[in-house]
Amino acid sequence: MTTYANSTRNYFLGLGCERGTDWNEVCALVEQALGEVGIGSEQLLAVVSIDTRMDEPAILEVATHFRLPVRFFKAAALEQETPRLKNPSELVFAHVGCHGVAEAAALAAAGPDAELVLPKMKSGSATVAIARIA
């Protein structure tokens, strides 16, 4: 597991979206999520998602916009987070092979003792969740 030296950055932003989602929709959802938690983008370590979205423009644009690295996980790794998910979904499992993307990616990135500080929040075509490193 990666160790992060800058203790002011202790949050991971999990993102999921449908193919072709407008990046403005995803960005607006991220801004709303940050407001809900009461943190700024400067406290985020990375944008994280499922590897099937490695080339998704909306996710890549959000990472660029907030000047954050982006990291992707295989569905099998995200599926291991299912017991910690607040909103597991059989529909998501049927589509991508894991019971959640945004929550699972945030938790997987933040580690085994991480806390989900913002469960899945949805817009029309995207989801966001935020996890904090313990």
pLDDT of 6 higher than 70? no
For residue range 12-27, what is the model confidence (pLDDT) as tens digits?
999 999 999 999 999 9
pLDDT band at 7 (very low <50, low <70, confident <90, very high): low
pLDDT band at 5 (very low <50, low <70, confident <90, very high): very low
Confirm whether 63 is domain-assigned: yes
Confirm whether 4 is domain-assigned: no
pLDDT of 36 higher than 60? yes
For residue range 49-106, what is the model confidence (pLDDT) as tens digits?
999 999 999 999 999 999 999 999 999 999 999 999 999 999 999 999 999 999 999 9
d(CA 125, CA 103): 16
Task: State the pLDDT at residue 8.
Answer: 81
Confirm whether 36 is domain-assigned: yes
Give how many domains the chain has, as a whole number. 1
Q: Give the structural domain span for 42.
A: 18-132
CATH of the domain at 104: 3.30.420.180
Confirm whether 2 is domain-assigned: no
Confirm whether 13 is domain-assigned: no
pLDDT of 1 higher than 80? no
Looking at the DSSP bridge assignments, the partners of residue 122 are: 127
Confirm whether 7 is domain-assigned: no
Confirm whether 8 is domain-assigned: no
Residue 28: enclosing H or E segment and its boundaries? helix 23-37
Looking at the DSSP bridge assignments, the partners of residue 48 are: 14, 71
Side by side, which strands form the sheet with 11-17?
Answer: 70-73, 44-50, 11-17, 126-132, 115-122
Confirm whether 3 is domain-assigned: no
On the CB side of 96, CA atoms within 13 Å amount to: 25
Q: List CB contacts of 36: < 8 A, sequence separation 6 or more.
A: 118, 121
pTM: 0.92
